[in-house]
Structure 1
Amino acid sequence: MDRFAGQARLEWWANHATCLEKYDIDITVTVDAVGTWRATGRHANALDTTQREGWDFLMEMDPHFSIVFPGEDNGGILVRVFEAEDGTLTLTEAPDWDGSGSITFDLP
């Protein structure tokens, strides 16, 4: 596969057993000659207020998601997601991320 355009799903996992949220996205993935892939996309459906709050919270907590392509049951590729102001998502493979991080929140 050197190019895929279609739908996929981003899943945010709290641990190996708990998926907190899933987001359908329209995505285009390209793979270069050395196997490096790049992906861009958008949410397949506009997020309502509650979904947007959840998305923003998860992105602030940790922007790493598993991506699931059609025909797969579970996410196989760990990606880091960046969202531009216009809503465009850029995904980069994060194979070395170990799932640990230090997050601090100021709660009202």
Structure 2
Amino acid sequence: MNRFVGRARLEWWANRSTCLEMYDINVTVTVDAAGKWQATGRHANALDTTQREGWDFLMEMDPHFSVAFPGEDRGRITVRVVEAKDGALTLMEASDWNGSVSVTFDLT
């Protein structure tokens, strides 16, 4: 595949068995001659207030998601997601990400 244009799903996994949230996106993926891929996209549906709060929370905690393409039950590629002010998403392959994150909560 050198180019894919269509629907995909971003999944935010807390651990190997718990997916906290999934977001459908419209995405364009291109692959260069060296096999490195780049992707851009947008949320397939506008996020309501609750979804936006959840998205912002997960992005602040850790912007790494798994991306699943049509026919996949679970995302197999880990990506780092960057969201521009206009809502455009950039997905960068994060194959070296080890799945760990350090988060501190202030519960006072």
TM-score normalized with structure 1 length: 0.96
Are 2:35 and 1:35 aligned?
yes
The corresponding residue for 1:88 is 88
Q: Please name the residue that 2:21 is paired with.
A: 21
Equivalent residues, number: 108
State the partner residue of 2:64: 64
Task: For 2:106 and 2:44, locate their aligned partners in 1 and report how far apart those are by CA, in whole Å.
Answer: 31
TM-score by length of 2: 0.96
- Between the aligned partners of 1:33 and 1:91, the Cα distance in structure 2 is 18
- State the percentage of identical aligned residues: 77
Partner Cα separation in structure 2 for residue 52 and residue 107 of structure 1 = 22
RMSD: 1.0
3-state DSSP of counterpart to 1:8: strand
The Cα shift of 1:102 comes to 1.7
Structure 1 stretch displaced more, 91-100 or 40-49: 91-100
SS state at 1:101 partner: coil
Any idea what the Cα deviations from partners look like across 1:22-54, whole Å, max 9, x if unmatched?
000000000000001000000000000000000
Q: What letter matches 1:28 in structure 2?
A: T
Deviation at 1:105, TM superposition (A): 3.7
1:92 maps to amino acid? M
Distance 1:90 1:107 in 2: 32
Q: Which runs of 5+ in 2 are unaligned?
A: none
Q: Which runs of 5+ in 1 are unaligned?
A: none
Deviations 1:3-26 (A, max 9, x none): 000000000000000000000000
User: Hey, which bits of structure 1, 4+ residues long, moved more than 3 A?
Assistant: 105-108
The reply on whether 1:2 has 2:14 as its aligned counterpart is: no
